[in-house]
Amino acid sequence: MAAPVSAPALARWQPHSHSSSVHSFTFTQVSITHTSSIKGRRKYLKCAFSGGAEKSLQSTIEMDRLIDKLRTTDDRKLPEIVAENILAFNSVFWMRLAARTEICESQDDQEDFKDLASSLMSIVDRVVQKAEEREPSNLQHDKTSWNGEKIESATDVLKAILKPITNEDEEIVWPPKDPQSIILMKKELVQREQEGQLDETFLSEVNAQLGQAKTDNDKPGLVAILQKVLQLYASRVLSQRSYAKKGAQIIKAEEFLETIIKGDEEDWNRLLISGLILGGEPITLEELNGVIEKRIERTLMRTLSGSYQQRVLCEYLKEIKSRAEYLVQEFQKRQPS
């Protein structure tokens, strides 16, 4: 059995706006003034940026401000900002976001931009869909309606994720009779994560309910369900970044860890036994532990210190490490002395 998953500042590189875009400026002759002097006539040529270039530069600056604001905004507030600026999300904006992604100096920063783009596209689609259902002729005016509907409590979000395993009497069934239920749970969780709804408030709610269920000690099914939600969350977030490739080289231990992260907790034993050296593969426990520790360090650097997210992700990685050590220990006990 897996040990329970305990529910428990990212420094971003800010690119200079003037270095992230190349504009083709045209110079125009404004005036030529002829003057008389003891040295004769002189011509003065005055050049200036064309009005179109100035407008393009100003537009780029405004888009960069919006992008930077979106990057530093709490995930739960993203939909509100998207709704307020819905008309700004045109083809030029997406091209600019792609350009900003390409010039990132590190892979982590590039992944941040990709994650942001994915979240924004999902939110924009929903904002537009909601707006068209009400007032197709005026998307910007619809933001009030969207904001009103967007505000869901963390309990509502959790209920939506658990809906596939909830019967007609609104009772949660665990383990689910239909394996498809877990797939639907994952799908709902991914959708909610993309919309920025699985924030600290949500994780705090799950943690509170998990703690209460353990205290009551009469709802083992509920404990398992909430642990599963946190496992699915951690798997989703951690699997969004890959460190298995270093140039043209594949780091086998990292690749193996990412396979486990993406897998269901119920499959960990099989994956670990078959993937480690005890299963015939060239990956040792020490190598696996090494990449797990590196991933924990990265997680600590990229998440808010003391946050529920940090605790959930780190506990998930530590659980993989503990499971691997336990399996290797049991395997060694059974070997002839």
Percentage of residues of the chain with pLDDT beyond 70: 77
Q: What is the dihedral of CA 306, 308, 313, 315, to 10 degrees?
A: 80
111 CB-contact burial (10 Å; exposed 0-12 / middle 13-18 / buried 19+) = middle
Per-residue pLDDT tens over the stretch 164-200? 998 887 788 888 888 899 999 999 999 998 888 898 8
224 CB-contact burial (10 Å; exposed 0-12 / middle 13-18 / buried 19+) = middle
pLDDT band at 57 (very low <50, low <70, confident <90, very high): confident
Is residue 334 over pLDDT 50? yes
pLDDT at 23: 37
Amino acid at site 281: E
pLDDT band at 151 (very low <50, low <70, confident <90, very high): low
Q: Are residues 130 and 143 in contact, defined by beta-carbon separation less than 8 angstroms?
A: no
Q: Indicate the SS3 state at residue 231.
A: helix
Q: Are residues 218 and 194 in contact, defined by beta-carbon separation less than 8 angstroms?
A: no
pLDDT at 235: 96
Q: Which of 258, 260, 280 is nearest to 269 (CA)?
A: 260
State the Cα–Cα distance between residues 104 and 110, nearest whole angstrom: 5
Residue 49 carries which DSSP code? E
pLDDT at 236: 94
For 4, list phi and psi in degrees, rounded to 5: -60, 145
Residue 3 carries which DSSP code? P
Task: Give the C-alpha distances (Å, rounded to integers) separating 36 from 31, 40, 42, 84, 265.
Answer: 16, 6, 7, 58, 88
Quote the crossing angle between the two packed helices 91-102 and 107-134, to the nearest 10°.
Answer: 170
State the Cα–Cα distance between residues 184 and 27, nearest whole angstrom: 59
Whether a cis peptide bond, with omega within 30° of 0, leads into 175 is yes
pLDDT at 132: 66
Which is more confidently placed, 34 or 70? 70
Which is more confidently placed, 147 or 109? 109
Per-residue pLDDT tens over the stretch 122-135? 788 877 776 665 55
pLDDT at 302: 85
Amino acid at site 216: D
pLDDT at 216: 86
State the Cα–Cα distance between residues 83 and 75, nearest whole angstrom: 14
Per-residue pLDDT tens over the stretch 283-333? 999 999 999 999 999 999 888 888 899 999 999 999 999 999 999 999 888
* Helices and strands (DSSP H and E) totals, the chain: 13, 4
